[in-house]
Structure 1
Amino acid sequence: MFKRILVAVDGSLSSFKAMDKAIELQKLTDAEIYLLCVYKHHSLFEASLSIGRPEGMDIPDKVLSDYAKGIVNHAKEKAKEKGAVKIRGFVKAGRPSTVIIKFAKDKEADLIVVGSRGTHSDKDGMLLGSVSHRVASKAKCPVLVV
């Protein structure tokens, strides 16, 4: 049924619920799970806009990348505690919905699992968060919103 399940994780409770659902599916299908955390890329120009930066302070991309790696590593540990096997973690920069969809295509994911935010931030996403809404409407493979 499923060979590769992509789970978007951002450290939120809803993303960990999505991961839990993917683990349940893995136990039924023996699929590999790809955990993906996407952070917003900051250009050097954006990074230079700060009024002052203390000596030795990293540019935003480095800080955000490290934070995203921490989220993925934490998710992997939690997944292993719950009995998951065949788990790989990835960190990418960019617009989350765009990166998730492209990553799923590149890795030939059979399923994308994302958490629902329930925000009212845009008229199209009244029940889903904006990222889950965009992924569900634009992905070429099935999307499970948890």
Structure 2
Amino acid sequence: MFRKIAVAYNESAKAQRALTSAIQLAKSLDAELEIITVVPDLPAYAAFASAADPGLPQVLNSDRVRFYEALHEGARAMARVQGIELQTHRIDGPAVDGIVKFLRTHKADLLVVGLHQRDLYIARLWSTVYELAQESPCSVLGVH
């Protein structure tokens, strides 16, 4: 049924829950598992700070790369404990567009996402998760 599972993953608790569920699902279905992390742009104030220190954007980018590498290594270790090999991917740019492009390119069968605990009406209108569900070329599983 699902041969390739992708997880939208970052440092949040909801993404951790999504990964935990996806690992269990991949193990039970003998499916491939990949995580996608969208790296946000540097905040606008970084441009102002770079006026005082022109090397600051490079330092901040290096710190972000190290942070996400460590985050991905933790996810790989968590999957290995369950006997699952996990592929990791970092994407720059807008979250929904980047994830949808990844899903199409890698032909994922299922996207697993962590759900916010918010008012349903607001979540439906504004949530990245809702937009992903509308744009995704594959099935989407939301995890509380």
> Which TM-score band (shorter chain)?
0.7 to 0.9
**Is contact 2:5-2:31 (8 Å) kept?**
yes
Structure-2 residue corresponding to 1:115: 114
Cα deviation for residue 46 of structure 1 reads 7.4
Cα deviation for residue 59 of structure 1 reads 4.7
Structure 2 spans left out of the alignment, 5+ residues: none
Alignment of 1:1-146 (within 5 A): 1-42=1-42, 47-50=46-49, 51-53=51-53, 58-81=58-81, 83-119=82-118, 124-125=122-123, 130-146=127-143
Number of equivalences? 142
Structure 1 spans left out of the alignment, 5+ residues: none
Cα deviation for residue 78 of structure 1 reads 1.7
After superposition, the Cα gap between the structure-2 partners of 1:141 and 1:31, relative to the gap in structure 1 and judged at 3 Å, is same
Cα deviation for residue 65 of structure 1 reads 2.9
**Is contact 2:35-2:88 (8 Å) kept?**
yes
Root-mean-square deviation over aligned CA pairs: 2.8
- In the alignment, the residues of structure 2 paired with residue 62 and residue 21 of structure 1 have an alpha-carbon distance, to the nearest angstrom, of 31
